[in-house]
Chain A
Amino acid sequence: MKEINKMKLEFPSNSVNERFARSAVAGFISQLDPTLEEVGDIKTLVSEAVTNCIVHAYPNEIGRILLKVSIYEKNLVEIIVRDYGKGIEDIEKAREPMFTTGGDERSGMGFTIMESFTDSLKVKSTPGKGTTVSMKVKLSQRVRLR
């Protein structure tokens, strides 16, 4: 896979940065001329992954969040969200619909939504060390008039 472009952002886990993160990624992928629906999906993915870092990885502290986006040939977009927080004990269980450790403030549907909006979703985690979520989305290749 040939990488065509990439970007990297790092920011603290303040909840106000949820909007910043998804807007930044939407801006970066605009070079692929995505449809409105594709932009909506990408913003949702970023919001889910970043919110998980803010809520679950760093429940009682402000920590570092790393966000990387790569564009590969044939309109393939890869989004990687990484934290250095709490980690996940049982990833398989965490990915089940409705599973949450967040009480009734959360619905436990984040991973289910990420799964449904991506072509591939990978989660790696080490308890006490942090979590990395990688998402791949293939955007439509629309005919472009230049």
Chain B
Amino acid sequence: MKAVFTYDNNRLTIALSGELDHHGARDIMDKIMNKIDDTLPRDCHIDMGKVSFMDSSGIAIVLKAYKKVNAIGGRLWVENVQKQPMHVFDAAGIDRIIGISATV
């Protein structure tokens, strides 16, 4: 599991790649939270285009990031979600809380 951050003009993009399970999430949870603390973004995009597998561990990460960004008055989206992760987001009903869009 890898997270690549780009920050520009109040916009933080977090590009994730690999398999987002509990094992993979352990490596990146703190990095993501610290990056949001450091940059205080107005817009935060989580790009999941390269996440080939995700379970409920991914939901916890996205929710935690969402709460943190929300608390500083920012907005968060999840983008480029592949089929399997999208099915997991759907089953958990996360799209009622956070904007999530599929790969095109």
Q: Contact residues of A with B, CB < 8 Å?
A: 15-16, 18-19, 22, 36-37, 40-41, 43-44, 47-48, 51, 54-55, 97, 104-107, 109-110, 112-113, 116-117
Contacts and interface: CB of A to CB of B under 8 A. Distances in A.
Nearest to B84: A40
A122 to B, nearest CB: 18
B56 interface: yes
Nearest to A106: B60
B43 interface: no
A40 B22 contact: no
B92 interface: yes
Contacts of A104: 60, 63-64
B19 A19 contact: yes
A107 B59 contact: yes
Interface string B20-39: 01110010010000000000
Interface residues on B, range: 20 to 34
Given A37-B87, A47-B55, A51-B22, A113 B60 contact: no
Contact of B87 (A16, A44, A48, A112): A44
25 contacts: A18-B21, A22-B53, A37-B84, A40-B53, A40-B83, A40-B84, A40-B87, A43-B84, A47-B53, A48-B56, A55-B22, A104-B63, A105-B60, A106-B56, A106-B60, A107-B60, A109-B56, A109-B59, A109-B91, A110-B56, A112-B91, A113-B55, A113-B88, A116-B91, A117-B87
